[in-house]
């Protein structure tokens, strides 16, 4: 009966097209919201987020307000369980939430190559290490700003030469720009000689992150600047606390989109069934059982949802892949990236909603007596 279902949908092509379009738009928004939530989970969980620590100045928030002595690196390395320490100077053009935030991380080029999960797709490490004003740029930043190796990039008081473009297994990294630590410390106007924004601590595999964090703060409490040390994931979640609340609220927007698809397809299917009650009665007189009539209606609604939801999901994945979108605040970035899980959830939700939406009109078509249906005008 597949041909029959398809001919039925084509018979009312305007209604079918409008339903498919509405479903596609709703599933597009659903997948986009899901991508934001996935980006937040990737940023605040995982091995890197739990086995690394961020040492930040106590009671400070925006990177420009945290000023720690670079010499803290030596003191932190003395603590048991610490494998390496990378001093980082952070500069951002905007501490507030923004979709076009630019974040510079200044660190030792050798440590960046060793400790960061990045791989150059253009340029080379030697050029980056030799020039103090050189920078390597995440591919999402390069895409948004149309940057290539050899270009000069300027923002605020910073002028850098693009020595490379990199990709990363951690999506948020692709929205950063790395320079040498000395460049950000001695750039005119920043006044950060001998100071850094934070120290990133890499732990040994058997180290207890909470114990090491407490020891770091205890050891540095008597120094010139008190610190607050947290796991990297917890630090980023705290930094993005306002955005976390907003993303949590957006979760309900995803549910609203699913509800919109459900009501839209259910209404379309109900209208279709009511227009064809005589047709279903004739089919039953020809031998189609009530369960068969129910399957016909369910197939019709599921096909509508599958086509519309599939188109919306594919459009969202394509937009996420080519857009390189990210949102950030206070130097932390949430990257929006397509994923297999997002595609599967979009298609699964579409099919599930199609089945649920088709149940009430399907039961109506199956349970209405044949004589009653034949009497309808």
Rg of the chain's alpha carbons, rounded to an integer? 28
Q: Which of the four pLDDT bands, split at 50, 70 and 90, describes residue 78?
A: very high
Work out the end-to-end distance of the chain between its first and last CA atoms, rounded to an integer number of angstroms.
25
Contacts of 322 (CB under 8 A, 6+ apart): none
Q: Residue 75, by phi and psi: left (phi above 0), alpha (psi -120 to 50) or beta?
A: alpha
Name the nearest CA neighbour of 124 among 150, 90, 98. Answer: 150
Residue 323 burial (10 A CB sphere; 0-12, 13-18, 19+): middle
Q: Which of the four pLDDT bands, split at 50, 70 and 90, describes residue 46?
A: low
Q: Which of the four pLDDT bands, split at 50, 70 and 90, describes residue 267?
A: confident
Locus of tokens 């976390």: 244
The CA–CA distances, whole Å, from 212 to 25, 56, 57, 215, 269 equal 49, 14, 17, 5, 61
Asked if residues 76 and 229 have their Cβ atoms less than 8 Å apart, the reply is: no
The phi and psi torsions of 187 (rounded to 5 degrees) equal -65, 135
In total, the chain counts a number of residues equal to: 377
pTM score: 0.78
Contacts of 203 (CB under 8 A, 6+ apart): 51, 52, 53, 81, 82, 83, 209, 212
The CA–CA distances, whole Å, from 310 to 30, 164, 307, 338 equal 12, 37, 5, 14
Rounded to the nearest integer, the mean pLDDT of the chain is 84
CA 154-160-165 angle, 5° bins: 105
- The tokens of 22 are what? 């509405």
- Tens digits of residue pLDDT in 213-227: 999 999 998 888 999
Cα gap 318→99, rounded to integer Å: 19
- Tens digits of residue pLDDT in 314-370: 999 999 888 777 777 677 777 788 888 889 999 999 999 988 988 888 787 777 666
- What is the three-state SS of the chain? CHHHHHHHHHHCHHHHHHHHHHHHHHHHHHHHHHHHHHHHHHHHCCHHHHCEEEEEECCCCCHHHCCEECCHHHHHHCCCCEEEEEEEEEEECCCCCECCCCEEEEECHHHHHHHCCEEEEEECHHHHHHCCCEEEEEHHHHHHHCCCCCCEEEECCEEEEEEEEEEECCHHHHHEEEEEHHHHHHCCCCCCCCEECEEEEEECCCCCHHHHHHHHHHHHCCCCCCEEEEEHHHHHHHHCHHHHHHHHHHHHHHHHHHHHHHHHHHHHHHHHHHHCHHHHHHHHHCCCCHHHHHHHHHHHHHHHHHHHHHHHHHHHHHHHHHHCCEEEECCEEEECCCCHHHHHHHHHHHHHHHHHHHHHHHHHHHHCCHHHHHHCC
Average of pLDDT values for 271-280? 70
- Tens digits of residue pLDDT in 91-127: 887 766 666 778 899 999 999 999 888 999 999 999 9
Average of pLDDT values for 57-66? 82
pLDDT at 279: 66
Higher pLDDT, 16 or 164: 164
């Amino acid at each position: 009966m597949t041909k029959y279902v398809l001919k039925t949908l084509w018979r009312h092509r305007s209604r079918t097209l409008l339903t498919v379009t509405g479903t596609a738009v709703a599933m597009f928004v659903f997948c986009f919201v899901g991508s934001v939530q996935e980006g937040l989970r990737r940023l605040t969980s995982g091995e890197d987020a739990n086995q690394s620590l961020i040492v930040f100045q106590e009671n400070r928030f925006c990177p420009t307000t945290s000023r720690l002595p670079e010499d803290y690196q030596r003191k932190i390395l003395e603590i048991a369980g610490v494998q390496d320490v990378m001093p980082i100077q952070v500069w951002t053009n905007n501490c507030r939430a923004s979709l076009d935030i630019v974040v510079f991380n200044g660190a030792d080029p050798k440590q960046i190559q060793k400790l960061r999960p990045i791989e150059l797709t253009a340029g080379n490490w030697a050029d980056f290490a030799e020039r103090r004003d050189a920078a390597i740029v995440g591919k999402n930043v390069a895409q948004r700003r149309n940057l290539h190796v050899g270009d000069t990039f300027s923002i605020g008081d910073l002028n850098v030469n693009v020595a490379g473009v990199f990709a990363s297994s951690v999506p948020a990294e692709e929205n950063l720009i790395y320079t040498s630590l000395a460049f950000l410390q001695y750039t005119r106007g920043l006044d950060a000689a001998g100071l850094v924004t934070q120290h990133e601590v890499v732990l040994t595999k058997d180290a207890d992150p909470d114990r090491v964090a407490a020891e770091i703060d205890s050891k540095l409490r008597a120094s010139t600047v008190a610190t607050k040390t947290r796991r990297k994931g917890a630090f980023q979640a705290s930094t993005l606390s306002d955005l976390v609340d907003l993303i949590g609220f957006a979760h309900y927007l995803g549910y609203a989109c699913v509800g919109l698809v459900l009501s839209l397809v259910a209404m379309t299917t109900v209208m279709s069934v009511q227009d064809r009650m005589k047709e279903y009665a004739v089919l039953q007189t020809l031998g189609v059982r009530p369960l068969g009539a129910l399957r016909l209606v369910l197939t019709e609604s599921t096909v509508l949802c599958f086509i519309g939801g599939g188109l919306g999901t594919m459009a969202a994945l394509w937009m996420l892949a080519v857009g390189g979108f990210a949102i950030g605040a206070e130097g932390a970035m949430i990257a929006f990236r397509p994923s297999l899980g997002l595609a599967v959830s979009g298609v699964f939700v579409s099919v599930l909603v199609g089945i649920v939406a088709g149940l009430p009109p399907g039961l109506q078509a199956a349970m209405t007596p044949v004589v009653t249906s034949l009497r309808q005008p």
